[in-house]
Chains A and B, each alone.
Chain A
Amino acid sequence: MSPQDIYLRYGSVVYRRARRLLGDDQAAKDACQDVFLRLFRSLPDFERASPVTWLYKVTTNYCLNLIRDEVRHRKQLEARATSEPSTAATPSLADLLRGFPEDLQEIAIYYFVDEMSQDEIARIAGISQRTVSNRLTAFRNLAKAAWTNVFEEAPETQ
């Protein structure tokens, strides 16, 4: 297949996924461009792999990297502007993933956002189901601890 045929066949997988994770249409179009440029560069890898699995993994990692950049960028701005973190009315995915280890972020996206089974996650991430299960447990524990800290650090109002 020519690059254009590949894009026409598989483009919506990347576009939808990026739009969902990034929440922005223009960013999703940029993601399409970059992911497919990467694909054409790694065409033999793509042709050897399961196409949908390859695209899910690469697009997810691409979007996670963008989100991490956003988090880093925001941290820098916060550090410059004020000692107080910004408070958005609606937390973005970047807010939700902030502070979690990268290997847990990817698994959490597949499980909580995509609602994939642990078997599907294992296939996309290239790890065992046991590892998926362990990482989900670790993610839950960290999330629980984070929420506990939020309440412990909150000032008493009564």
Chain B
Amino acid sequence: MSNPTNVRKRRGANCLSDFLLDQWRLGTFEIAEDKARASTHLGNCAQCRARLGEIEAVVLPSLDFSGVSPASVPHLVASPTRWRWRTVWLAPVVAAAAAGVLLMPWHHSEERSKGGGWQLGVVARTSNGRVGAVSQGAVLAPGDRLRFEVSAPTDGFVSVISLDARGAVTPFVPATGTATAIRAGKRRLLDGAVQLDDSVGPERLVLLACPHALPVAEAVAAGRAALARAQGHVENVEGLGLPCTQTSFWIQKEMRP
């Protein structure tokens, strides 16, 4: 690291910070002197005008929050989530034409799966940037990214695993290690997220809420055994046979044209 006292030399002494330039372009000055200073300075400083141009030229990521209402937003946990990625193998879009226009049932209600007071909710960000909570049975597509919110009646340990139509059992959150400790509370957004892979068909997202830190491998093994008992039909899977509260959230994965 260079000597920090010398770092702050990239702009002229009176040049405007990005903070002031943002306030200028958005017209949100709190202090009148700031506005007057910015106006005068921009009139005389080509460098700051160029920086303002650069700021205005930034292309915003196309996220769609139109389906979001304040009541539908989960409580964010103290630490922000590091997105974790599943490898996505995009199959040839052979069936895309047959899928037609897919409509995602975005909702504003409190619909979540329930089990012994434990509730699992899903927040999705589609590949076209739409963000919001989704309902049971929502149609999602490969490439969409999911995060999970849990309402916990007691302190405990939770994990979310996926059982899909091709018979695969995948740990979603956490991806490895042991179940995540969670405090009692409503709509806790879990650390970790997944990107849906290219399998299509019904997919069952199972929340396991346990009194102990269940190893993820144990949850996956229980899921595989349950699928085997159901002859591979995810719709017919019943309990996973673990000493945990279990609740499911169904999604339908289809290719999006």
Q: Which residue of B lies closest to A38 (CB)?
A: B76
Proximity bits, A41-82, B CB within 8 Å = 1, else 0 = 101000000111100100000100110010000000000000
**Number of residues on chain A facing chain B (CB within 8 A):** 56
Considering the chains assembled together, what is the distance between the CA atoms of A64 and B70 in angstroms?
25
Q: Does B83 contact A (CB under 8 A)?
A: yes
A29 to chain B, nearest CB (A): 5
Q: Is the interface of A mostly helix, strand, loop or mixed?
A: helix
| Pick from B17, B26, B66, B82: contact of A115, CB under 8 Å | B17
Q: Is the CB of B65 within 8 A of A29?
A: no
Considering the chains assembled together, what is the distance between the CA atoms of A91 and B1 in angstroms?
8
Residue of B5, B73, B81 with most chain A CB atoms under a 10 A cut-off: B73
Considering the chains assembled together, what is the distance between the CA atoms of A147 and B2 in angstroms?
9
Q: Does A135 contact B (CB under 8 A)?
A: no
Proximity bits, A111-145, B CB within 8 Å = 1, else 0 = 11011110010011000000000000001100100
Q: Does B7 contact A (CB under 8 A)?
A: yes
Q: Is the CB of B30 within 8 A of A29?
A: no
Q: Is the CB of B58 within 8 A of A108?
A: no
| Pick from A11, A32, A41: contact of B70, CB under 8 Å | A41
Q: Is the CB of B18 within 8 A of A114?
A: yes
Considering the chains assembled together, what is the distance between the CA atoms of A38 and B26 in angstroms?
21
| Pick from B4, B11, B78, B131: contact of A108, CB under 8 Å | B4
Q: Is the CB of A37 within 8 A of B68?
A: yes
Answer whether A140 and B4 are a contact pair too, CB < 8 Å, given A12-B58, A34-B81, A50-B28: yes
Q: Which residue of A lies closest to B10 (CB)?
A: A115
Residues of B within 8 A of A140 (CB): 4-5
Proximity bits, B72-86, A CB within 8 Å = 1, else 0 = 011110111111000
Proximity bits, A1-40, B CB within 8 Å = 1, else 0 = 0111011111111011100000000111111111011101
Residues of B within 8 A of A91 (CB): 1
> What 10 A-B pairs are tightest by C-beta distance, nearest first?
A3-B65, A4-B66, A41-B73, A112-B7, A29-B61, A116-B17, A11-B60, A3-B68, A12-B58, A40-B73
A-B contact pairs, 28 of them (CB 8 A): A2-B66, A4-B65, A4-B68, A6-B65, A7-B60, A10-B26, A15-B61, A16-B18, A27-B83, A29-B61, A29-B63, A30-B81, A33-B125, A33-B131, A37-B123, A40-B65, A40-B68, A41-B74, A41-B75, A41-B76, A52-B22, A56-B22, A65-B80, A69-B82, A114-B19, A116-B19, A140-B4, A143-B3
